[in-house]
């Protein structure tokens, strides 16, 4: 049987029951229902049961089981029941959390899933790539990701990178002819394959296979194991936890031996050791880190920054340089033609006159070397191009009419490396190449000039004149396009090598105002210790003018062109890098060098990109940022963050959120670990002082898993405040657990432990050891609940206020209610080994619990003077 590539386009179409007009929507619906979505199945996901089972692998569970057994042996059956219930509850919570995190990652993934341009019922549509079905007519252009396998029907210089499939990194030229021979995949040049990238040209393709029926699907099914990657922070927390566990085990063994030495009964000694282990292990730590990160990405998605990799959230907080595109990111990408320069003079676009032959050629060039359209008043395609159509619309020249009248023979599409676009038409019966592009590029390729007096050779003075005019426009921040044409003989083939020998027609300048929020965002970035650098394909003078308007370019700064950059050695670049705030006329390779140079200085660099060739620079940057609206699928694929509004200001918001997430995680860790330290110190103290065991394991489990989790999550929800941008970026090499941080943990833990042990002593004096234990437990629980307020911010609660985070107040109240239930509901009191307390004992508990917080708050007031 013949393969798709061996059949003619017509054969393929009829076999797939489709035409060049595409499928009907009913057909597409039916096929989608029958064949399934166009996605690669992601291997077998872990079953819920397996995730549940994995929760028991934890060291904590082993210790808890030991605790349950010891409790049972010591005759405390209720305690055993509670511990078993806690183990189960913990496993259920862990499972639910895992599934939730998976879901939220999947929803982020779907936000960044690629789109595809298809024709259905004769209409061009942009649909989610998941809905593409065999028989769909797919339109491909440079920058697209091929989302399904297909047979090329019409080829316009299509070049594709198929490295994901063949491993071959060079671009492959495609064709639309039928191939007779049996050929290996890489030689089937009339086919495109899912997962490849369009690097150049255009093509119309009929889809032959989707989802797992594509060539990549066949391979994917072989290597389908999905691995969950941990972020550096998660990994370092895991590492920390396991190290901590080891240390704890050693201390436990020590305490156990000490108790035995003191001739304490074996079971009691074991209870000491177990209490210490339960007190010390930060059960909630790892899940809190994950929850806070997940919440952070959700918030960022709402603010138009879609995070593709969780680790980007962490790196965002360290960003110290942002390299941003100009057009569309810093500016509005709303182009409007301002002036036309033709026949040696500048005029308003309304003055163009189609009855003049000179003007007519410029108008033809503007309308025909142009792939955009205006439909129902809305521009479709490249804003630079539909600005030209709006201009001709103003003088009542219909682009629909001109395009219907004249048939495009050949084309060389625009690309930002070449900065030109050319097409071939029959104009007045003569084959003519029309071209438009960057003036400096075009000028080198022009030999003649056309004026109202006719065509003549281009003189040095003409060149000077054109350059001068270009400069005048550029100094006002205008984007300038040059227009030229040449008549050719009928056998002339349009090729990249033949884009020369043109006759100059004129210049058109257009405004693209900066986005309103750009200036403030650049100022915010500066305050936050972040350098903004403009990297653009536009002219140096235009770029500098815009950069000045929005505060990127300041007195004494440098602007460098791609060509100047090429001439610099790495050492020269290193010397100039901090002074240069504008790079103009850059190539994608230039971008990589710029990122590299900043990174050599130890900076964490964020780089934006939208083009097909930007992928390597986006990958090289620490945070590659792609444009959600105008970006190519290729750039989105390479980026770690996508801006759904293409806006520079969104990057700054994301940085603030990234800093906030990191800070909140740090504070949550501080909260959890200082609380645990208090527990450890209390147990150690009683052990050393030969006092009874202060806590039963259930007490500590109650605190660690219930009353501590709530404030920790609330701390994770602390909103981003303006002051976040007042600090310098975080040093990426600096971990969370610095010396200062550990000292703080120890001090705060010691304060809480002191309160707890005072309560314990009072309990021992006024009642039994059971009363003392209850008082110690209640004091520890309550003081950790109060401590939740201390860990919200480095500033005092008077400065940040309760109302700025209601969750924190809610968590406190919920914790107090839970504790009261345990204290006052007899059944729960029994379960949690709590005895009844009298009024004055309760007053003592509250007093002692609040004292550490009062001291910590006073210290903050003194330190930060508020
Ligand atoms: P940025 O990199 O900031 O997005 P840009 O959009 O100005 O900048 P390019 O799109 O690469 O960069 O454009 C570079 C130059 O190519 C422009 O200055 C303009 O002269 C020319 N140009 C832009 N669009 C077209 C087009 N559609 N056809 C022909 N020339 C174009």
- Are 803 and 712 members of one domain? yes
Q: Decide which of 511, 539, 571 is a domain's last residue.
A: 511
- Are 18 and 146 members of one domain? yes
Dihedral of alpha carbons 374, 377, 379, 383, sign? positive
- Are 806 and 713 members of one domain? yes
Q: Which atom of ligand 1 is nearest to the CA of 326?
A: 3
pLDDT at 229: 57
pLDDT at 710: 85
pLDDT at 224: 42
- Are 686 and 625 members of one domain? no
Q: Structurally, how many domains does the chain consist of? A: 4
- Are 566 and 548 members of one domain? yes
Distance between Cα 417 and ligand 1 center (Å): 9
Transcribe 779-810 into DSSP letters.
HHHHHHHHHHHHTT-SS-HHHH-STT-HHHHH
Specify if 581 maps to a domain. Answer: yes
Transcribe 542-554 into DSSP letters.
HHHHHHHHTTSS-
Please name the residue whose Cα sits nearest to atom 2 of ligand 1.
536
- In the set 325, 440, 610, 646, the catalytic residue is 325
The parts of the chain modelled with pLDDT lower than 70 are 41-45, 59-60, 101, 104-112, 167, 169, 220-231, 283, 722, 866
- Are 480 and 566 members of one domain? no
Specify if 241 maps to a domain. Answer: no
Please name the residue whose Cα sits nearest to atom 18 of ligand 1.
538
502 bridge partner residues: 446
Q: Decide which of 488, 511, 534 is a domain's last residue.
A: 511
Query: Mutate which of 387, 391, 435, 437 to test ligand 1's pocket (most atoms within 8 Å of Cβ)?
Result: 437
Cβ within 8 Å of residue 300, ≥6 positions away: 306, 307, 313, 653, 654, 657, 658
- Are 743 and 687 members of one domain? yes
Please name the residue whose Cα sits nearest to atom 14 of ligand 1.
537
Distance between Cα 263 and ligand 1 center (Å): 84
Query: Tens digits of per-residue pLDDT, 487-496?
Result: 999 888 888 8
Enclosing domain of residue 501: 336-511
Cα–Cα distance measured from residue 825 to residue 162, given in angstroms and rounded to the nearest whole number? 68
Domain containing residue 123: CATH number: 2.70.150.10
Distance between Cα 414 and ligand 1 center (Å): 9
Distance between Cα 350 and ligand 1 center (Å): 24
Distance between Cα 39 and ligand 1 center (Å): 34
- Are 292 and 360 members of one domain? no
Domain containing residue 441: CATH number: 3.40.1110.10
Query: Mutate which of 418, 438, 611, 646 to test ligand 1's pocket (most atoms within 8 Å of Cβ)?
Result: 438
Q: Decide which of 178, 198, 222 is a domain's last residue.
A: 222
Specify if 245 maps to a domain. Answer: no
CB 198 within 8 A of CB 146: yes
- Are 450 and 391 members of one domain? yes
Transcribe 437-450 into DSSP letters.
E-HHHHHTTEEEEE
Specify if 86 maps to a domain. Answer: no
Specify if 432 maps to a domain. Answer: yes
Does the active-site annotation cover 325? yes
- Are 812 and 711 members of one domain? yes
Domain containing residue 697: CATH number: 1.20.1110.10
Instruction: Name every protein residue with a CB atom under 6 angstroms from any ligand 1 atom.
Output: 325-327, 382, 384-385, 414, 416, 419, 421, 436-438, 479, 481, 536-539
Please name the residue whose Cα sits nearest to atom 24 of ligand 1.
384
- Are 457 and 593 members of one domain? no
Distance between Cα 775 and ligand 1 center (Å): 73
- Are 391 and 327 members of one domain? no
Query: Tens digits of per-residue pLDDT, 750-780?
Result: 999 999 999 999 999 988 889 999 999 999 9
Query: Mutate which of 386, 411, 412, 419 to test ligand 1's pocket (most atoms within 8 Å of Cβ)?
Result: 419
Specify if 608 maps to a domain. Answer: yes
Specify if 721 maps to a domain. Answer: yes
SS3 75: coil
Rg from Cα positions in the chain: 34
pLDDT at 534: 96
Cα–Cα distance measured from residue 831 to residue 109, given in angstroms and rounded to the nearest whole number? 45
Specify if 267 maps to a domain. Answer: no
Beta strand spans in 178-290 (E): 191-192, 197-209
Cβ within 8 Å of residue 399, ≥6 positions away: 367, 370, 373, 374, 389, 392, 393
pLDDT at 361: 95
Beta strand spans in 529-688 (E): 531-535, 558-561, 580-584, 605-609, 623-627, 641-643
pLDDT at 557: 94
Maximum CA extent, the chain: 115
Helix spans in 55-76 (H): 59-73
């Amino acid at each position: 049987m013949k393969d798709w590539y061996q059949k003619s386009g017509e054969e393929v179409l009829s076999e797939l029951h489709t035409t060049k007009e595409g499928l009907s929507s009913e057909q597409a619906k039916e096929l989608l229902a029958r064949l399934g979505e166009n996605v690669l199945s992601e291997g077998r996901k872990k079953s819920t049961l397996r995730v549940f089972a994995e929760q028991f692998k934890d060291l904590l569970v082993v210790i808890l089981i030991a605790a349950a057994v010891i409790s049972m042996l010591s005759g405390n059956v209720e305690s055993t029941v509670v511990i078993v219930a806690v183990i189960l509850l913990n496993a259920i919570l862990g499972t639910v959390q895992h599934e939730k995190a998976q879901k939220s990652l999947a929803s982020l993934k779907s936000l960044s899933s690629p789109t595809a341009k298809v024709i259905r019922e004769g209409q061009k549509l942009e649909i989610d790539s998941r809905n593409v079905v065999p028989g769909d007519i797919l339109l491909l252009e440079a920058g697209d990701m091929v989302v399904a396998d297909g047979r090329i029907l019409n080829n316009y210089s299509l070049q594709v990178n198929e490295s994901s499939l063949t491993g071959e990194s060079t671009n492959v030229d495609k064709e639309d002819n039928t191939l007779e021979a049996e050929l290996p995949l890489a030689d089937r040049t009339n086919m495109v394959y899912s997962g490849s990238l369009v690097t150049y040209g255009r093509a119309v393709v009929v889809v032959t296979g989707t989802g797992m029926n594509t060539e990549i699907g066949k391979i994917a099914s072989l290597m389908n194991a999905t691995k969950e990657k941990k972020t550096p922070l998660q990994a370092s927390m895991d590492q920390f936890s396991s190290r901590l566990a080891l240390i704890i085990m050693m201390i436990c063994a020590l305490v156990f031996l000490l108790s035995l030495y003191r001739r304490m009964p074996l079971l009691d000694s074991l209870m000491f050791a177990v209490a210490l282990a339960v007190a010390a292990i930060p059960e909630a730590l790892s899940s809190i880190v994950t929850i806070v990160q997940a919440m952070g990405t959700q918030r960022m998605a709402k603010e138009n920054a879609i995070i593709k990799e969780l680790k980007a959230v962490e790196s965002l907080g360290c960003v110290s340089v942002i390299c941003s595109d100009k057009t569309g990111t810093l500016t509005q990408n709303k182009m409007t033609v301002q002036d036309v320069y033709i026949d040696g003079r500048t005029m308003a676009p309304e003055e163009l006159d189609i009855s003049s032959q000179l003007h007519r050629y410029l108008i033809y060039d503007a309308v025909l070397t142009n792939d955009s359209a205006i439909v129902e008043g809305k521009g479709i395609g490249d804003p630079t191009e539909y600005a030209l159509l709006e201009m001709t619309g103003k003088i009542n020249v219909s682009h629909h009419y001109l395009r219907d009248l004249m048939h495009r023979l050949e084309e060389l599409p625009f690309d930002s490396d070449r900065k030109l676009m050319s097409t071939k038409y029959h104009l007045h019966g003569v084959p003519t190449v029309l071209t438009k592009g960057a003036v400096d590029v075009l000028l080198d390729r022009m030999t003649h000039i056309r004026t109202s007096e006719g065509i003549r050779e281009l003189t040095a003075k003409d060149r000077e004149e054109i350059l001068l005019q270009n400069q005048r426009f550029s100094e006002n921040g205008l984007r300038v396009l040059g227009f030229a044409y040449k008549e050719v003989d009928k056998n002339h083939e349009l090729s990249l090598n033949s884009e020369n020998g043109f006759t100059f027609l004129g210049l058109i300048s257009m405004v693209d105002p900066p986005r309103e929020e750009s200036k403030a965002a650049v100022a915010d970035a500066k305050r936050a210790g972040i350098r903004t650098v403009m990297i653009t394909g536009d002219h140096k003078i235009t770029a500098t003018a815009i950069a000045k308007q929005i505060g990127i370019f300041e007195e004494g700064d440098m602007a460098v062109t791609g060509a100047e950059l090429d001439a610099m050695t790495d050492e020269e670049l290193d010397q100039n890098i901090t002074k240069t705030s504008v790079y103009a006329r850059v190539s994608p390779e230039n971008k990589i060098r710029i990122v590299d140079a900043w990174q050599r200085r130890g900076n964490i660099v964020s780089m934006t990109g939208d083009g097909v060739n930007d992928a390597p620079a986006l990958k090289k940057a620490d945070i590659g940022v792609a444009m959600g609206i105008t970006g190519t699928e290729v750039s989105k694929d390479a980026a770690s963050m996508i801006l759904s509004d293409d806006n520079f200001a969104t990057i700054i918001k994301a940085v603030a959120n990234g800093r906030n997430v990191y800070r909140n995680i740090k504070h949550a860790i501080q909260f959890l670990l200082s609380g645990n330290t208090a527990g450890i110190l209390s147990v150690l103290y009683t052990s050393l002082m030969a006092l009874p065991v202060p806590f039963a394991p259930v007490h500590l489990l109650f605190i660690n898993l219930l009353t501590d989790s709530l404030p920790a999550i609330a701390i994770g929800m602390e909103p981003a405040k303006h002051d976040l941008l007042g600090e310098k970026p975080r040093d990426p090499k600096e971990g969370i657990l610095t010396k200062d941080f550990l000292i703080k943990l120890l001090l705060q833990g010691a304060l809480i432990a002191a309160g707890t042990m005072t309560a314990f002593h009072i309990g021992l004096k006024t009642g039994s050891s059971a009363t003392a234990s209850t008082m110690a437990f209640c004091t520890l629980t309550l003081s950790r609940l109060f401590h939740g307020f201390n860990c919200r911010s480095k500033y005092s609660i008077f400065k940040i206020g309760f109302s700025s985070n209601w969750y924190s107040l809610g968590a406190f109240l919920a914790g107090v209610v839970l504790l009261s239930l345990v204290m006052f509901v007899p059944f729960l009191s029994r379960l949690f080994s709590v005895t009844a307390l009298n009024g004055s004992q309760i007053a003592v508990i509250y007093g002692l619990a609040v004292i550490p917080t009062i001291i910590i708050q006073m210290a903050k007031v003194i330190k930060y003077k508020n």
